[in-house]
Structures are given as structure tokens and as C-alpha cells.
Chain A
């Protein structure tokens, strides 16, 4: 089945550093979503992107919908301890099915 390649799988960074993660697909998506999941909780929507080239911010988070419609990235600036968690990308294809990446596990050290 269709898969999203999300990288990196995990990141260990110092508080205050910037973070960047991305997702790529072999096929085109109409929508890109970024979620964060805390331990023992469900994913929480961070940013939704609906147009190729779109750049959207949510506080210290910025995400972009790639021009080719096959990729998206998420940046977190000036990381803080509460940024710890697993970040998932999700893409919606022409069948309207939502496909999730495997997640990026972020650990922030003080």
C-alpha cells in the first residue's frame, strides 16, 4: 500500500535548538497534516496544509506543503522541554484516504 517516508525517526536535541523533520511520498497528496502525540494520548493536530507551496505557522511551529505536492516539512524553533513527543505527518490522496507517516520521536534535553 501507499506509504509516507518520515525522517528522521528520532531526534535528541538541546533546549533552544531548532528542529526540522520531513515527509516524502511517491505520489501526490491534496492535503498535508502534522500531528503531535504525547505518551498515552491521541495525536493532536498542529498544522493543516491545503495548497502546494503553502507555508503556515502555529506559534514556534512552521510547516510547508511542497511544490511538487509529494513532500512536506515541519520546523520547530527554539525548542522547549514540552515539545517532547512523537510528531506524525499525514497526507490525503486523491481517494481522500488519510495516510500516516511512521513518526519522528523528539527528545529535548534541558
Chain B
């Protein structure tokens, strides 16, 4: 596998379910990101991890819980979601040359299409 992969590609869940989204990057990058893409809205940055430390959390509800066990893997744990959380969830990675939030080109995975019933 090359680039950034995401699983599952599609997920349907009820509001009481617990599920996790997985992202894996094969680019040797040290920063990873979660974005939410809703219809007719700009991409919304949710979380940023740089060197496996969370460096940004953009006021995301606690029902979304990220985890970055190493520089190649990123998870988004989902719990008691709402129907308005239905969206395409995109993972991205980049090579962060500073210790800051985001300094270089980001490469995206194919996304997980999430539907909350």
C-alpha cells in the first residue's frame, strides 16, 4: 500500500453505537490530521497530531476521540454520535519540519463516508 489509506470506506451507525475510523500513512510523515467534510461546506480541521502529540483540537465535541499510537497510524473513536455528524471524514499526513501545527503539503486519504442514523 502506498500513500494514505483509510478504513472503513463506508460506515453506517446508530446514535448509541461505538465505532472507530482508522488511518494509516505510508509516506514516512510525522504529522497527521482529521478533517470533516460536509456538503457545501469547506473542509473543517478537527485534530492535528505532530510527532504523535496532539497539537490542535478545533473545538470538536467529546463524542469524537482521536488516538495516535505512532507516527503512521491515526484513529478516530466515535461514540453517541448525532445525525448531523454524518459526513466524509478525511485523514491527511504531512512532513512537519518545525514543531508547529502544519508547515508542509498535506496528502489525503480517500475518506470514510459516515452515516449516523
- How many of B's residues come within 8 Å of A, CB to CB? 24
Structural contact, A97 and B45, CB atoms closer than 8 A? yes
Whole-angstrom distance from the CB of A33 to the nearest CB of chain B? 6
For B96, the closest partner residue in chain A by CB is: A96
> Which one, B14-22, B60-68, B77-85, B97-105, is touching chain A?
B97-105
B105 contacts across to A, CB distance below 8 A: 33, 45, 48
Whether B90 pairs with A43 at a CB distance below 8 angstroms is yes
CB neighbours of A88 from chain B (8 A)? 43
Write out the residue numbers on chain A whose beta carbons fall within 8 Å of the beta carbon of B110.
40-42
A77 to chain B, nearest CB (A): 24
Q: Tell whether, in the assembled complex, residue A45 and residue B102 are in contact, meaning their CB atoms are under 8 Å apart.
A: no
Residues of chain A touching chain B, judged by Cβ–Cβ distance below 8 Å, are 3-4, 33, 35, 40-45, 48, 88, 90, 92, 95-103
Please list 30 pairs of residues, one from A and one from B, whose beta carbons are closer than 8 Å in the complex, sorted by A's number.
A33-B105, A35-B108, A40-B113, A42-B6, A42-B91, A42-B92, A42-B108, A42-B109, A42-B111, A43-B90, A43-B108, A44-B108, A45-B106, A48-B105, A88-B43, A92-B102, A95-B101, A96-B98, A96-B100, A96-B101, A96-B102, A96-B103, A97-B45, A97-B101, A97-B102, A98-B45, A98-B102, A99-B42, A102-B40, A102-B42
Residue ranges of B at the interface with A (Cβ–Cβ < 8 Å): 4, 6, 9, 40-43, 45, 90-92, 98, 100-103, 105-111, 113
Task: Identify 16 new A-B residue pairs, CB closer than 8 A, beyond the known A41-B110, A42-B90, A102-B41.
Answer: A3-B42, A4-B42, A40-B111, A42-B6, A42-B91, A42-B92, A43-B43, A43-B108, A44-B108, A92-B102, A92-B103, A95-B101, A97-B102, A98-B102, A101-B42, A102-B42
